Chains A and B, each alone.
Chain A
Amino acid sequence: MSQDHVVLEMKHITKVFPGVKALDDVNLVVKAGEIHAICGENGAGKSTLMKVLSGVYPHGTFEGELVFQGQSVEFKDIKSSEDAGIVIIHQELALIPELSIMENIFLGNEPKSGIAIDWVEARRRSMDLMARVGLDESPDTAIKNIGVGKQQLVEIAKALSKDVKLLILDEPTSALNEDDSEDLLNLLRGLKAKGMTSIMISHKLNEIEEIADSITIIRDGRTVETLSVENHEIDQDRIIRGMVGRTMEARYPEHTPNIGEVFFEVKDWTVEHPQVPGRMVCKGSSFNVRRGEIVGFAGLMGAGRTELARSLFGRSYGKYHGGQIFKDGQELELGTVRKAIESGVAYLSEDRKTLGLNLLDSVMQTIVSAGLRRISKRTVIDQNEEYVAAEGYRKSLRIKVNDVYRNINTLSGGNQQKAVLAKWLFTEPDVLILDEPTRGIDVGAKYEIYGLIQNLADQGKGVVVISSELPELLGICDRIYTIFEGRITGSVLRKDATQENLMRLMTTPTPSAA
């Protein structure tokens, strides 16, 4: 198979939803044996394009032509695209937690002998597949007992079991830590070496730059351009330019911090894992925040960043073993979330959909949900104040929605995140802990969120930002703490911080004062 052999061609794809043209004359050419990345802001149409390709939107519901392996194809459902060898692995993994790795790999595709499942054959084949993806576990291990990184590998093994010719990965590393991400990318390289063609949707430009052979950029439902490694066209700035349609002078807004004295302090914070006795997720952690300061927390996934934040926020995680919280010199007892809110602490969770929002709520109900006391007298909610508050945040945070009565799940990820941020701003906190505030939102919305964070700091609040993306921390934080295995291992000023020295602190157990 020559390198130039085209395996997939999507020609002039146009997909219209009532009132919205989601895709407008999109063209995509994927060559055999390459890793082809698709980039675009949230809402650009990447997922819609993949749904067209995988038959979620059957033939006839869109305009244009699909040519797969030289033949024009018409998929009527996911099953028919899988039969042709196109397998899509979604961002949210579709595994059954209670079943074993082996059972998951062959779910819906079980090897049979007669009418019974041939478990011997299934075991043999699953061991083989697991070896191919480098998954070192027993095939009988339940999915719920392995980490997200390994679950991702199970998904890939499952895809391989179906004789896949084109593998589509939707944000494969968004839930993985750096190590697991690296492993996954290596696996993709390995599969590519054996001739596998992959399409990868990703927001992480550094990964794309590292792994992709070609990149197609989509903006507002249209193809902008396709770049290829061979022509040395791939660089992050060019991709960003293509995605947002403008040159981003800087990915982080300019900001001159105005930092006051220390007003929020945590001392010797120690917390035990809620299920595993004896395992400490925070080991005597101490840190402080100054007025007007943006403090970052860097750590690999599982290092205990979220655990630290949630245990501080009304002890909503783990078992408290010791430690004190001080604000303005006074010790705080934050035994419940309500007390934490009343003491001026806010926590924006990393998982918007499952921990941050009630998707049945309107935008207005979302915004006031943590501060009902501010708009109610003797438990009766004042509808005027409720509307005025929500409308105020809609305007000031530029939440894109026609009116605040709309359902929150009709908003894009970035706008949902703004609404959740508004919910916490409405509690008028002094200290905001923002856990992955820009996860899963597009470049433009990220820029706006960074601006909001800086604004809060300028108002004299202390902002704590937890993030998996080091460039983000380096871009907006005045000071960065590193965490390794539940222990704070360093505190680095912005001017001294580099990705390299942070990464070293994030992976070494010895505390060092930098």
Chain B
Amino acid sequence: MATLRDSFRGNIRSFGMVIALVALIVFFQWRTGGNVLTPSNAMNIIINNSHVLIMTMGMLMVIVIGHIDLSVGSVAATVGIVVALVIQNWHWNWILAVLLGLAVGFAVGSWQGFWLAKVGIPGFITTLAGMMFFRGLNQYIGHSKTIPVPEGIQQMGSGYLPEWGPNTGMNNSTLLLGIIAIVAIVFLEFRKRARLARIHADVPPMYVSISKLVLFGVVIGYLVHLFGTGRPGTSFPIPGVILVVLALIYSFVTSRTTIGRHVYAVGGNRAAAALSGVNTKGTYFFVMLNMSVLAALAGILFIGRMRASGPADGLNWELDVIAAVFIGGAAVSGGVGTVMGSIIGGLVMAVLNNGLQLMGTGAASQQMIKGLVLLAAVAFDVYNKTQGKPSITGWLTRKKGSAGSQDAEGGSVAEAGPVNPAEPTATA
């Protein structure tokens, strides 16, 4: 059993959080008489939340460097109105308009990155100013009117993959995605085994890998069935595809590249990072820039789903995004958190919203419940840390290998236990 657990390290460190998510789904499935896991509801969850989930990846990095971005909703709204207007008034092609929107995000991100990285104004202030300014800019440009967007952008925000090929009883695009996913995880698992063998590390027994692959295979198979068997013309939604692709890219960037390592280094100890040759200002700038570009993309997907851009788009998005990142195990002090953890945190919020709506809970109660869930998730984390136990969210989402030993007051010896039990290591 221990080997089984060990081999899941890195991947299924986030096991507990996934369990919480599954428990939540099962609970609502039971309470709503099976209305949660229907093809159309699952698609709704993805379509209604992909913009928030996309932003959590950027926000995770902002929070890891020890800052916060309050402006994402306003930035998304500004980008949305710009995109809608150039199409309506200047008759731009929608693809060009989307590219312009991303460019606006880039410009806004550079602006905020400049104030944070070069001038040294904390992100909270920089983006609080941005939140006000860009909200105003959205309403100034759009005269507080609602501007419709064309079919192309609507597809981006809420469309489905095409139907093609033989009749398999389900949507073939979704089926293809599932097959690609299964092939990919099998390939990655065996490559990992080969790698471990090459560096003479302990290779987990074959049955561990097989059972892991079977488990993932079953989950993917179920999702393919869920999303592939909706009414004709529906599939795994396009915004969901964008989300999954970005999640893979951002997971890779944060965990496996020097850029990602620099982000964690700057967040963990800025001075030490600087003395290790990390360009700390450049890292700050990049993270803020990236956040605004993702906010721009989220804004475009959102106007696609709403079929129009309006003056109240993006209101309070920053709060949902920040909550998701913290539920996903990031630390306010920076340096801690993972992309996958944040996305799972976002999904917890999404399922909660959806389930409560299906149960017919009023908007007021929904807000209260969400507030308490955020508090409970983080409180549980903090409690476990002060007890010196591995925290759920920290445990689930910690970076590979970094044992989640948040040093409890005076607990240095307890922490040191595993290092060498024969020798006390309390700093005397």
Give me the interface of A with B, judged by CB distance under 8 Å: 17-22, 40-48, 51, 56-57, 201, 218, 220-221, 313-314, 316, 336-338, 340-341, 347, 349, 354-362, 364-365, 369-370, 372-373, 376, 379-381, 383-384, 387-388, 391, 400-402, 404-407, 409-413, 423
Contacts and interface: CB of A to CB of B under 8 A. Distances in A.
A354 B259 contact: no
17 contacts: A18-B414, A20-B421, A44-B428, A45-B424, A220-B423, A220-B424, A349-B272, A357-B272, A359-B269, A361-B265, A370-B277, A376-B257, A380-B256, A402-B418, A402-B420, A410-B405, A412-B416
Nearest to B198: A384
A397 to B, nearest CB: 15
A22 B413 CA distance: 8
Contacts of B278: 337
Contacts of B414: 17-18, 20
Interface string B268-293: 11011111111100000000000000
Given A42-B428, A45-B426, A361 B416 contact: no
Nearest to B421: A19
A405 B403 contact: yes
B419 interface: yes
Given A220-B423, A379-B259, 12 more contacts: A20-B425, A48-B424, A336-B277, A341-B277, A357-B269, A358-B265, A359-B407, A369-B276, A372-B261, A381-B257, A406-B401, A412-B419
Contact of A411 (B264, B279, B401, B419): B419
B338 to A, nearest CB: 13
Nearest to B401: A405
B423 A361 contact: no
A15 to B, nearest CB: 9
Contacts of B276: 337, 369-370, 423
A347 B402 CA distance: 25
Interface in B266-321: 268-269, 271-279
Contacts of B419: 400-402, 406, 410-412
Contact of A40 (B403, B410, B428): B428
A387 B403 contact: no
Interface in B332-371: 335-336
A365 B271 CA distance: 16
A359 B201 CA distance: 25
Sort A-B residue pairs by CB-CB distance and give the 6 closest, nearest first. Answer: A405-B401, A358-B268, A46-B428, A19-B417, A17-B413, A370-B276
A407 B402 contact: yes
B258 interface: yes
Contacts of B416: 20, 410-412
B167 interface: no
Contact of B403 (A17, A362, A381): A362
A313 B428 CA distance: 32
Nearest to A19: B417
A360 B261 contact: no
Given A384-B198, A400-B420, A356 B272 contact: yes
A369 B401 contact: no
Interface in B384-428: 399-405, 407, 410, 413-421, 423-428
B195 interface: yes
Contacts of B258: 372-373, 376, 379, 381
Contacts of A405: 400-403
A21 B420 CA distance: 12
Contacts of A22: 413, 424, 426
A313 B174 CA distance: 55
Nearest to B419: A410
